[in-house]
Amino acid sequence: MTLSSVPAVDDLHDDALATALQRAMDSKTKPLGSLGQIERLAQRLGAILGTPSPRLLQPQMLVCAGDHGLAARGVSAYPSDVTWQMVENFLAGGAAVSVLARQHGLALTVVDCGVRHPFAPRPGLLVRKVAEGTADALAQAAMSAEQCDTAIANGMAIVKDLPGNALLLGEMGIGNTSAASLLLARLAGLAVADVTGAGTGLDAEAVQRKVAVLQAVLQRHPDAVAPLSALAAFGGFEIATLVGAVLQAAAERRVIVVDGFIASSAVLVAARLRPHVLQRCVFAHRSGERGHALMLAHLRAEPLLDLGLRLGEGSGAALAWPLLVSACALLGEMASFDSAGVSGATTDVGAREKA
């Protein structure tokens, strides 16, 4: 895939809109800035959607699943079969993300991007299998360039067909914290030991073995330094599909709600291709996975929640979703000082504008 085939993602910077959003929030019946990060969230949503009165419509939870050849190296506490078993759990409605999607009215789509298991067709499932899992990245590139391109194109096409103006990112794939750690280490120039954690629950000794495997993988692919080269060398089919989904959602000016470490690694790759992708992203939470704080710092992202989550699936994005709904409601429905007949402080909107 060449950069010319990646959709354009324009700069959202709009001084007039930013001023209108700031004025609208400052005029509400509250002390200036008293809603803290929720105020910044409301203004970000308005900037993404291009209006001082943003509304979130038909939100879509997209959970992409794929298997990883590197899992055979013992980098996960769970066997690869858990990937397909959890896909079945998503579709049966029993997984955490399934429960949260139902609770919050999120349309859930599960995508088989490269799971080593056949699935019977059913509502809510898209089969976009590039291959039966990626290759072992310690022996060869996880994906060929062509496979990587196909997965990205699949993600773009999926989003084109989804309604709404908000996309929540989720994933499933035994071994995919290793892929995310490798992408972060290579693209951000960080030590792999600093960005590698317990994943599905490895003990300290197993984490050290995981670090050694990932260090060897990095040494095996010294030339995989460009975003797409690194993605092909280290990533999973589900991560590459999410990269395409992020790029398409950003091009369409959708709100992109980013879950944890693995979803953030897809955003990292997408942002290296189209930097203005980050203007469309709301980062749901800071994961308990070791590398995620460093990932967020690298992306200069301000997460909404910090609950020690490390489940993945899109669960953190779903938990954060009500905050986005509330931010829009406050901006659209909260009374202003003038409309409510409430006296403002002497250093209110006018004072801010003169400052």
Domains of the chain, earliest start first: 10-55+329-354 (1.10.1610.10), 60-321 (3.40.50.10210)
Predicted local confidence at residue 355, as pLDDT: 44
Select which of 39, 238, 289, 313 is catalytic: 313
Mean pLDDT along residues 261-271: 98
User: By the 8 A CB rule, do 185 and 233 touch?
Assistant: no
Q: In the block, which residue shows the tokens 């970000």?
A: 44
Predicted local confidence at residue 350, as pLDDT: 47
Predicted local confidence at residue 209, as pLDDT: 95
Q: Give the whole-angstrom CA distance, residue 36 versus residue 102.
A: 29
The widest CA-to-CA distance across the chain, in whole angstroms, is 70
Q: Is 313 a catalytic residue?
A: yes
What percentage of residues in the chain have a pLDDT greater than 90? 93
Which residues 6+ apart lie within 8 Å of 308 measured at CB?
A: 288
pLDDT of residue 351 exceeding 80? no
What percentage of residues in the chain have a pLDDT greater than 70? 97
Mean pLDDT along residues 196-211: 90
User: By the 8 A CB rule, do 17 and 44 touch?
Assistant: no
Mean pLDDT along residues 47-55: 97
What pTM was computed for the model?
A: 0.95
Per-residue pLDDT band at 132 (split at 50, 70, 90): very high
Per-residue pLDDT band at 226 (split at 50, 70, 90): very high
pLDDT of residue 352 exceeding 90? no
Structure tokens at 351: 């004072």
Mean pLDDT along residues 2-24: 92
Q: Give the whole-angstrom CA distance, residue 60 versus residue 314.
A: 11
Structure tokens at 320: 């954060």
pLDDT of residue 7 exceeding 50? yes
Q: Give the whole-angstrom CA distance, residue 220 versus residue 234.
A: 11
94, 95, 96, 102 alpha-carbon torsion, rounded to 10°? -50
Predicted local confidence at residue 344, as pLDDT: 82
